[in-house]
Amino acid sequence: MKRKDFLSRTAIGGSFLLVSPWYFSSCSSSGDDDDMNPDNNGDVMIDLSDSKYSALGDIGGFAYVGDIIVIRTGTSQFTALSKICTHQQCTVGYDPGTNELPCPCHQSRFNINGGVLNGPASSPLTKFTVTQNGNILNIS
């Protein structure tokens, strides 16, 4: 191999090595999805002892886990619904005083089972099944 060929190939390979850390790190995820720990069935599990979910320690407390709103409705009762309003995809909240999920964008309201109480939304929020095993909630 001539010196000129060696330098040319080294420059190309070196450029890839300099760029590759950016290329590979750009595939990582961030945001709410990091909160989700789907098991092999695609279910989402959350650990109530994690400080991120401290709001779920009180009845009426709620937390967002990915695209899901999880609400503590009783001592050992939880409800999980899609947090995405079916009207125009704003994020719904939860009002423990009325036990309703209001949407801040156009004032749709949903009941604790996801049903529409007040439009303009016309479709219910998706409801998920929640099971508890100690501090672990499984949402499916």
CB contact at 8 A, 114 and 103: no
Q: Which stretch binds ligand FES (CB under 6 A): 19-27, 50-58, 70-78, 87-95?
A: 87-95
Residue of the chain from 71, 80, 121, 139 that contacts ligand FES (CB under 6 A): 121
Taking the least distance from each CB to ligand FES, the nearer of 55 and 90 is: 90
Residue of the chain from 48, 108, 125, 128 that contacts ligand FES (CB under 6 A): 108
CA 36 to chain centre: 6
Cis preceding-peptide flag for 96 (omega within 30 of 0): no
Q: How far apart are CA 61 and CA 20, in angstroms?
A: 44
User: Minimum Å distance from CB 31 to ligand FES?
Assistant: 20
Residue 105 touching ligand FES (CB under 6 A): yes
Give the other-Cβ count within 10 Å of 14's Cβ. 10
